[in-house]
Every structure is written in C-alpha cells, then in structure tokens.
Amino acid sequence: MANLGYIGLGVMGGRMAARLLAKGHAVTGYNRTRSKAQALADHGLRVAGTPREVAAAADITFVMVANSEALTSVAGGADGFIAGLGRGKIVVDMSTVSPALSRELASRVRDTGADMVDAPVSGSVLTLEQGQLSIMVGGDRATFDRLTPLLEDIGPKVTYVGPHGLAVSMKIATNISVAVQMLAFAEGVLLAERSGIARETAVAVMTHSAIGSPMLQYRGRFVLQLPDEAWFDTTMMQKDLRLALEMGRELGVPLPTTSTTNEWLTAARAMGLADEDFAAVFQALARAAGVDR
C-alpha cells in the first residue's frame, strides 16, 4: 500500500483517486471545491485543507487540474504543494499544460530534493471506469520505473516517452485528432441527416464503419444527447487545441484542421455550450446548418 496524495478531484481526478483507494492505497486529497473531496471521504479519502498539506502527508502526490493557471495556483505560494515537498517525494502531474510550464515546474520541484514527472492520460470517463486508460510519462527514467506499478493501478497502458515535458507534448498532439475527428463526424452526420437519413441511423452506421475509432464509438452517441456531466468540456478541449497551435507556431508545423476545429469550438462556446462535452461542436454545426432539434 502506497501513501499517496491527489490534488484536483474533478471528473477524471476524482475517479482516479477513487480507483487508487479501491486498490488499497492511502490517499490524502484536496480540491478547490471541497464538496468534491468530501464525496470521496466515505471511501477512505483523508481530506486536506491545502495542496501543501497533501504533499507534506504523501510520498507521491498526483495533480490533475484544468489548465496552466490552475496548476500554477496549486503549486506555488505558502499553501502550494511545492512548499510541502522534500527529499525522496515525487509529484505526478497529470494536467495538460504547456510543455514549457511543465519543465519549469519540474525544475522547481527538483530544487526541493523531490522529483516530478508529467503523466497526462488518453481516454475518457468510460475508458477509466473500464480500466483501459492510457498514461504517457515524461521525466527521469528511474523515477518512471519506480512509478510504473502504481500508474498501472490507474490504467494498463503506461508508456515512457522521454524527458520532462514530452508527455504533455504527446498528449497535446493526440488530442488534435480527438477534436478533429469529432468535427468531421459532425459534418458527416449532418450531411446524412439533411439528405433524409435519420440522425440515429447515421450515427449507428458511421460508428460501426471503417471510421468508427474507439473515440467515436463511445462519444458518437453524444450527438444524439449530450451527457448530464461533461466528460471533457468544450472549454477544456479548446485549451488543448490552443496549446497545440502555440506548439505548431514554435516548431514550424502547420495545423490546418486544428485551426478550423478551434474556430468551431469558439462558435460552440459563443452559443452557450462552453460547459458541455466538446461533442457539442455538433450542436454548433447543426445550428449553422439550420438543423436544431
């Protein structure tokens, strides 16, 4: 049994913490909205008042927050998790942020005598609950080897991709395809619907055709009805695409489909769909096509 901490108990983080508790690990948790942490207390989570308390109590602290600003907030200052670190401790940052920020934070963590890896995930609520989540890791190889059995308690596919910052680079590169696929799928469903095919039929055919990627097979149904709780909301997906576009400019890589998808996510947010699952890009496109039920 490992002595763990978890900072950020949202849609994915909360479920990962629950999975670690179910595996028998001791977990101390913190969330800005305390009620989300309290919900896990019934399953054995020890609720902390600050990120610093989490890092001080744990040998290995997981962090999964929404964006660069949130990560900076929980990391720094008198109550940040860096202040609770010491020699031999490890931070596993599962947030998707800019590679530059990830490397900077890893350097600050190492100054305390601790170490950090960036370890974002690929998958959804469904793949996490099914035990099929993929985790990519950047950082020191020896630290990765030490963490691998623990990460496998969260998901079975754990891949070392290289030094600090490269795992978040890999995650950003992966999420391009997730968003672009969703927009292309929306276009196809709407084209079929306007030609006279029932939306439900178009979704069923396309998700079981040659284009039916694992992502479309579990998220394609969201064009029929969005989930009550967003698995990954429109604002979060647009944050990842903006990170990709920033990387593209820095590295000289043109990202034409990313740019187009980013514009449709902007449209979805303008239509009041910011907090809906990013599959809401379908609703934005449907309204533009005059198909809105």
Residues 106, 229: Cα–Cα separation, whole Å: 32
Q: Which two tokens stand for residue 16?
A: 């990962």
Three-state DSSP string of 116-174 = EEECCEECCHHHHHCCCCEEEEECCHHHHHHHHHHHCCCCCEEEEEECCCHHHHHHHHH
Catalytic residue, from 36, 89, 171, 239: name it. Answer: 171
Q: Which two tokens stand for residue 60?
A: 């290995």
Beta bridge partners of 134: 122, 157
Residues 139, 167: Cα–Cα separation, whole Å: 8
For residue 181, is it left (φ>0), alpha (ψ between -120 and 50) or beta? alpha
Evaluate whether 50 touches 67 at the Cβ level (below 8 Å).
no
The verdict on whether 171 is a catalytic residue reads yes
Evaluate whether 57 touches 82 at the Cβ level (below 8 Å).
no
Among residues 275, 226, 247, the alpha carbon closest in space to that of 170 is found at 247
Catalytically annotated residues = 171
